[in-house]
Amino acid sequence: MALNSVKEPGAEGDDLLDVLVVGAGPTGLLLGCDLARRGVRALVVERSHRLFPGSRGKGLQPRTLEVFDDLGVLAAVRAAGGGAPVGMVWRDGERQAEYRMFPDVPPTEAEPYTSPWLLPQWRTQEILLARLAELGGRVEFGAALSTLEQDPEGVEARLHDGRLVRARYAVAADGGRSTVRRQLGVGMTGEAVDPHPMLVADVRITGLDRDNWHVFPSTGDDFLTLCPLPGSDDFQLVARFTDGGGPDLSADGVRKTLAARTHLSAEQLTEVRWASDFRPRAAMADRFRDGRVFLAGDAAHVHSPAGGQGLNTSVQDAYNLGWKLGAVLRQGAPEALLETYEEERLPVAADMLGLSTRIHRGEAERGAATRQLTLGYRDSSLAVEARVRLPPEALRAGDRAPDGRPGRARLFDAFRGPHWTLLAVGTEVPVPPLAPETVRVHRVPEYEPYGVGLFLVRPDGYVGWAGPSADGLLPYLARVSGGAEHHR
């Protein structure tokens, strides 16, 4: 990608990037991939000189797997990861009991992925970075942001070395301590989920099997767990400290914690590859948009790790925003479409924050909500339901579009890509000519998860519009993809 909009101090010219993405975590990388496949000129900048090295967000929920399927990285994710192992409770060096960390839900045609998939965050990021490169995008590492200003035409960011970056829009994907959010003056409201600090570390251990997620409870409120990380020789160690002191992140400190709380000796911990002092907190930005700048991922909401919602909610932010930026920048959709990002994502993030906090405090259990397959946008201004007298369980505009094989092809294969999909399910009602590069039409037999009718599936896999006939379809497309005249 020619980065003509990245200029040395004093350079002239007004060539703009379409989007500047600040931060190369899962949110920024996924957004970069989605923008690249839409032909949007984007640059991801990352202050660090490398990808995040730890396992922190290791649980990928089923809805995230569907996103990865659409982006073409699911095979790599499957090959590198694994299912959650059975939990094993230890006491005094003896195995006490096994238990399932997550409910066992069999897959169906409509929901092909129903269980969390474990993959260290560093590996998820490597896969997304490789996909970004395949799509022609790139990340500039060692590019810390110094200042960011905006005007009616775009944003101007100054990097730490004095270079300027001009873009039409910017996305803050730079984490819970977001530089961009602070420079915008957007507040972050929240609370400590747990007053006690936690140690999270990637370690290598001898003498412990990798078939179980090992749990070492204590007589008080402290605990230590060791989860084998698929695709590596590492375990993720998590320990809670209630004695008033924080964890010692040195290798010797981590070894002492292990020896004090398990039957393993300090010498059996052979390497500490990454360690962090984590303070569980739940907080959300007061708004997700400020002019031409959007907040996504941890820059917009910070979760307790309980329930595995943080990384997954962040992925959904990027997936929601990517197609909308692409529609405005490449298809001529009204700029007002971008207002629906905050409208749709802020309530979802608030719900997920509440769920994560309740799970952390033992007030709720992991279940259907944590899989994120039931999340949707029925209350969004983009959800237009033209059918009447629907039964309570019916699929409606705003819901996730189910998978299946009601015809010859799999529905997720039909959805895959940056386009919209018009499904004519069990009906031969006529539809107007539609631009195939924007909307692809598929007629399939009646299929129980959908029923009968026309269903316009958004690029992010949710039903945007549904009706018994095509009446109202073109006006809807005018709002979201650049005008009805494009489809005649």
The 10s digit of each residue's pLDDT in 135-161 is 999 999 999 999 999 999 999 999 999
- ∠ CA(132), CA(138), CA(144), 5° rounding? 125
Q: What's the whole-model pTM score?
A: 0.94
- List the one residue out of 149, 148, 153, 137 whose CA is nearest residue 335: 153
Farthest CA pair distance, the chain: 73
**Spatial CB neighbours of 397, under 8 Å, sequence gap ≥ 6:** 378, 383, 384, 385, 463, 464, 465, 466
Those residues whose C-beta lies under 8 Å from the C-beta of residue 171, and which sit 6 or more positions away, are: 19, 20, 21, 22, 28, 31, 293, 294, 295, 296, 321
The per-residue b/e assignment along 116-154, b for 16 or more CB within 10 angstroms, e otherwise, is bbbbbbbbbbebbbebbeebebbbeeebebeebebeeeb
**Burial call 420-458: b when 16+ CB within 10 Å, e when fewer:** bbbbbbebeeebeebbeebbbbbbbeebebbbebbbbbb
Q: What is the CA radius of gyration of the chain?
A: 24
Q: Can you tell me the distance from the alpha carbon of 387 to that of 142, in angstroms, rounded to the nearest whole number? A: 52
Distance CA 19, CA 287 (A): 19
Phi (first) and psi of residue 180, to 5 degrees: -65, -45
- Spatial separation of the C-alpha atoms in residues 362 and 232, rounded to whole Å: 31
CA–CA distances in Å: residue 176 to residues 129, 153, 251, 282, 318: 21, 28, 26, 10, 16
Between the alpha carbon of residue 479 and those of residues 206, 424, 438, 453, 454, the distances in Å are 59, 21, 13, 21, 18
Q: Which residues contact 480 (CB under 8 A, 6 or more apart)?
A: 327, 333, 337, 382, 420, 458, 464
Q: Count Cβ atoms below 10 Å from residue 242 Cβ, excluding itself.
A: 14
pLDDT tens-digit profile of 85-133? 999 999 999 999 998 878 888 999 999 999 999 999 999 999 999 999 9
Among candidates 61, 11, 160, which has minimal Cα distance to 372? 61
Low-confidence ranges of the chain (pLDDT < 70): 1-15, 306-308, 360, 362-368, 483-488
Q: What is the pLDDT of residue 279?
A: 84
Helices (H), 87-161: 121-134
The predicted structure's pLDDT at residue 6: 53
